[in-house]
Chains A and B, each alone.
Chain A
């Protein structure tokens, strides 16, 4: 199975609870294989299965949607 690492810049994280909320939501997204988030750097690394999820698709996760104070952009 092909894998791809996508780096995110994540805005709005202030504590470990934020990290858990975002990680948990991303891990439930179809096509996501693994998630690592750095609160200190405000970044995330998401391992995806490109056949099932595009990098842009990660940004459409519920946790980054309108109304949420967490936002993200692609770094790579």
Chain B
């Protein structure tokens, strides 16, 4: 290895969404003059495009196209069996991921001559310098940076379960390589990843069992939504073990046996395959952060201020390796832009309060801001209303009434502080909630805004109106 240290204006550790967003912003601000080193392993683009949002949404959309014609919800429309080939769907998924990676990352990178890509793992040797090794541990070079951004992302966390490694399992990193639909699957972890992949496989015809440690699903959202999505998934055939944990796993001649401990005692679940979806770990353990004076939380996530500055001067962090509550590609990209803008002397802060998040089950779940409980705990009281989709004309017409919209306001001034939605297109209509929370809009601002009738977005206006009147006493399109 050459002992020469190559200097860059900016060194970015990682090459996923946060890293790209930061590199592009830095190039724009410096008119392409800033010299940037980007260091990472694996395919360009990181989690989202390769093993996250993109393949999971592809799989979900394909699965809904198989499932929904079999379950028509309007009178006179009859069950239709959709002919499909799971292996071909997975081939299409991988092809789409490759094309998305090429067009959104590989080709984009070619446009930036000021960015040097290094394939390898980075390790701090001091506050300004990192050593790069290839995946086998062989040192391949050293670079230093006037500014450094840590954007190394995260990876699936694997719990220490007796026999799990010997039996074999899938994660959200590896499931995209399968060609055959598992006839049955146990999903360890009932969070967003577990529910999304679980529903997709269920819709293709797998028998799905979810084992969740908590007593409710999706604790980040309103409890009414957690209960409603569980009821819907159970109706579709998904089995749940709540407040349960897996004690051990072993293989039988044909299948995998999962030993589950519940409040009722021990139960055995025999399945074709296992998916571990118990959260994610930050990729910070090999960075030697101590050498640079960077502090982390107990999980190893990098501590930052809202400016994305770490505890070490000149070093910033962005994306899934940062200590925070929400882990989203959109947030990672925003954090990357904020970090770089602040390197150029701006004074930007990340706004986690108006960040939207989603779970892409069908119906979708999306939220922004605080839940009723969160606001009450912080402020002592709150005011909220829940509007069921069964009261919404558009939802009734299409037969998609299993869902709700809940709005939480500050009772002092009726300012919207949170909105949580379960609806077929919750991920689209939640943006109205984001505008409201970010800009401090009040209930009357939503009511006074024109909404199309009949539409799902009208449900947000109805939810707002339920603060001021009894909706059962309200005619259609009442202002």
Contact residues of A with B, CB < 8 Å? 9, 11-12, 42, 56, 58-60, 64, 69, 71-76
Q: Which of B9, B146, B314, B344 contacts A59 (CB 8 A)?
A: B344
Q: Which of A11, A59, A64 contacts B33 (CB 8 A)?
A: A11
Per DSSP, are chain A's interface residues mostly helix, strand or loop, or mixed? mixed
Encode contact with A along B144-174: 1 for CB under 8 Å, 0 otherwise: 0011000000000000000000000000000
Q: B345 to A11, Cβ gap below 8 A?
A: no
Contact residues of B with A, CB < 8 Å? 9-10, 29-31, 33-34, 146-147, 314, 343-345
Chain B, Cβ-Cβ closest to A42 = B33
CA–CA, A19 and B184, complex, Å: 69
Chain A, Cβ-Cβ closest to B343 = A73
Q: B33 to A73, Cβ gap below 8 A?
A: no
Q: A74 to B314, Cβ gap below 8 A?
A: yes
Q: A60 to B31, Cβ gap below 8 A?
A: no
- Starting from the known contacts A11-B30, A72-B345, A73-B9, 13 additional A-B residue pairs (CB-CB under 8 Å) come to A9-B34, A11-B29, A11-B33, A11-B34, A12-B33, A56-B345, A58-B345, A60-B345, A69-B31, A71-B31, A71-B344, A74-B147, A74-B343
Residues of A within 8 A of B10 (CB): 73
B112 to chain A, nearest CB (A): 15
Q: Which 6 A-B pairs have the closest CB atoms?
A: A59-B345, A11-B30, A11-B33, A75-B146, A73-B343, A71-B29
With A42-B33, A71-B30 known to touch, is A64 a contact of B146 (CB < 8 Å)?
Answer: no
Residues of A within 8 A of B314 (CB): 74
Chain B, Cβ-Cβ closest to A60 = B345
Residues of B within 8 A of A12 (CB): 30-31, 33
B458 to chain A, nearest CB (A): 39
CA–CA, A71 and B31, complex, Å: 9
